[in-house]
Amino acid sequence: MPTSPARYSRSIDWPTVLIYLLMVGLGWLNVYAASYSPDAPASPLSTLGFQDLMAFNWFKQILWIGTAIVLIVILLVVDYKAYDTFAFVLYGVMIALLVVTPFIARPIAGSRSWLEIGPVRLQPAEFAKFITALAVSRYMAGINLRQQNFRDQLVLAGLTLLPPLLIIAANETGQALVFGAFLLAYFREGMSPLILLILAAAGLILILALLVPKLWLIGAFTVILGLVFAFNVRVLRHHLVLALSVWAVVVGMVFGVDFFFNNVLQPHQRKRIEVLINPSADPLGVGWNVTQSKIAIGSGGLAGKGFLQGTQTKFDFVPEQSTDFIFCTVGEEWGWVGSMVTIILFMALLARTLYVAERQKSVFGRTYGYCVASIIFFHFCVNIGMTIGLAPVVGIPLPFFSYGGSSLWSFTTLLFILLAIDAYRKQDLERY
């Protein structure tokens, strides 16, 4: 350790730590409520042995939180340069682990992605997030995205895409989608905004293609494109080929949606998107989750039913109520007020993360900071979105709230590596 503990602790970004603790604390309360059973035999906890207590998710979550705090101390004590130095090594190890996992893991809930080490189950995909973030930040520090060096961009794309491909192979599509979040970090570091725009447009066209009859969509698009060029005849002359190719791509996409939908997506994934558009399409299957989740949240009202008073979550109407659908307990028991507190906490954490990222001197630190914010944001977006029927049901947890060791540890690591880097930045300043 390069300096005294007292001086070091002063350089830690305490607001982030505070927000983190609040989220984990509230998360635990909701995990407790979600796993609380009103008619369970009320034997005093003191009479229960460790084995009995391990049957309760809320008790295990205490263990995960405790170990996460130990983890934090370790992360902060490790020399920040280690993250920089060992980024690629970690990346290599992680890739190796992702490759072997499907072969040595037992299938759990349809995917072979959990490694069992004694009583502890780990999901390497969870840890792939921060390790990939470290690796791409490290690589980013050595290149300049703006300089259009095609080879560098290709390597970066490869670094980013390799883990999700391996994760998809292990049938954990939800975790793989998270890697799309890295685009926001690349955008901050100079990636052309056109890529974001094209992706956004492509997403919009895909959604519209599912909602609106195809010929209408193509007709409307042709008219708009025609109008744009009709008013700029000069532009048309210069960009006729571009205009025609854009038109062709869009038409291709519109018709490609069916192919993508029916041939690329797996049946359960197709269902999830169908259900998003029309929840009554599969009322007792995937639609059940969405409907019940909305009912649980919607029945919370303004101020909620009160702690431990939720009925929809407690009586198992909502599936996965302490992991992926933990937000239902928040919404049902704490109402709109509780939902807003959660959203505000996430916004505060994201804002603070961006703030911390921006004050980094190194490209490595800043890129990593943006990766952290983007990954957390993606989880926030998709997880809450799916519980209120705005996003397809994708099995990813709500950071710091959802029950589970792997997810808590990986998000803790993700966040506190940033705080470690940030803390040493100040040390560096003081040194000079």
Partner 1 sequence: MQYLEGRKYVVQAIFLAVALVFATRLFYIQVLDGSYKLAADRNTLQRIVQTPYRGLIYDRKGQILVQNTPVYDLMVTPREVKQLDTVRFAQLLQLPLEEVRASLKAARAFSRVKASPLLQNLSTPELAAIQDNLIDFPGFSIKSRMARSYNTHSMAHALGYVGSITPAFLEKPKYAKYQPGEFLGITGLESYYEEQLMGRRGVQYRMVNVRGIEKGAFRGGEFDTLSVAGQDLHLSIDSELQAYGELLMQGKRGSIVALDPKTGEILAFVSAPMFDPATLSGKGMGNRYMELLNNPERPLFNRPLMATYPPGSVFKLVNELVALQMGVVLPNTGFPCNQRLVRCTHNHEYPSNVGIAIKNSCNPYFYQVMRAAVMRGRSTNRFEDARLGLGEWRRQVMKFGLGDRLGVDMSQEKKGLIPSPDFYDKRNGFHRWNYRTVYSLSIGQGEIGITGLQMANVLATIANRGYYYTPHFVKSVGQGGPLPQFRERHTVGVDPVHFEALIPGMQAVVDGRGGTGNLASLAEFGISVAGKTGTVQNPHGDDHATFAAFAPAEDPKIAIAVFIENAGFGGTSAAPMAALMMEKYLRGNIAPWRKRWEFWLQGPAEKFVRHR
Q: Which of 210, 336, 341, 427 binds partner 1 (CB under 8 A)?
A: 336
Where does 105-232 have alpha helices with state H? Answer: 124-142, 150-169, 173-177, 182-188, 193-211, 214-230
Task: State whether residue 319 is helix, strand or coil.
Answer: coil
Distance of CA 311 to the CA centre of its chain: 28
**# binding residues, partner 1 (CB under 8 A):** 45
Is residue 340 part of the contact set for partner 1 (CB under 8 A)? yes
Q: Which of 10, 14, 25, 38 binds partner 1 (CB under 8 A)?
A: 38
Is residue 316 part of the contact set for partner 1 (CB under 8 A)? yes
CB of 300 to partner 1, least distance (A): 5
Pairing verdict, β 120-122 and 115-117: antiparallel
Task: State whether residue 170 is helix, strand or coil.
Answer: coil
Which one, 9 or 147, has the nearer CB to partner 1? 147
CA 179, 180, 181, 186 dihedral sign is positive
CA-closest candidate to residue 31, choices 333, 409, 396: 333
CB of 141 to partner 1, least distance (A): 13
Which one, 172 or 189, has the nearer CB to partner 1? 189
Is residue 168 part of the contact set for partner 1 (CB under 8 A)? no
CB of 190 to partner 1, least distance (A): 6
Is residue 24 part of the contact set for partner 1 (CB under 8 A)? no
Is residue 269 part of the contact set for partner 1 (CB under 8 A)? no
Q: Which of 11, 341, 350, 426 binds partner 1 (CB under 8 A)?
A: 350
Residue 381's identity, in one-letter code, is C
| Spatial separation of the C-alpha atoms in residues 99 and 26, rounded to whole Å | 36
Is residue 311 part of the contact set for partner 1 (CB under 8 A)? yes
Q: Which of 90, 184, 328, 423 binds partner 1 (CB under 8 A)?
A: 184
List the interface residues with partner 1, window 387-406 (CB under 8 A): 388, 390
State both tokens at 227: 């109008």
CA-closest candidate to residue 324, choices 175, 166, 171: 175
Is residue 189 part of the contact set for partner 1 (CB under 8 A)? yes
State both tokens at 126: 């969870």
Is residue 300 part of the contact set for partner 1 (CB under 8 A)? yes
Residue 79: C-alpha distances to residues 74, 142, 353, 372, 392 (Å) = 10, 21, 21, 19, 41
Is residue 287 part of the contact set for partner 1 (CB under 8 A)? no
| Spatial separation of the C-alpha atoms in residues 350 and 386, rounded to whole Å | 20
Which one, 257 or 356, has the nearer CB to partner 1? 356
Binding site for partner 1 (CB under 8 A): 38-39, 184, 187-190, 193, 292, 294-302, 311-312, 314-317, 331, 335-336, 339-340, 343, 346-347, 350-351, 354, 358, 370, 373, 377, 380-381, 384-385, 388, 390
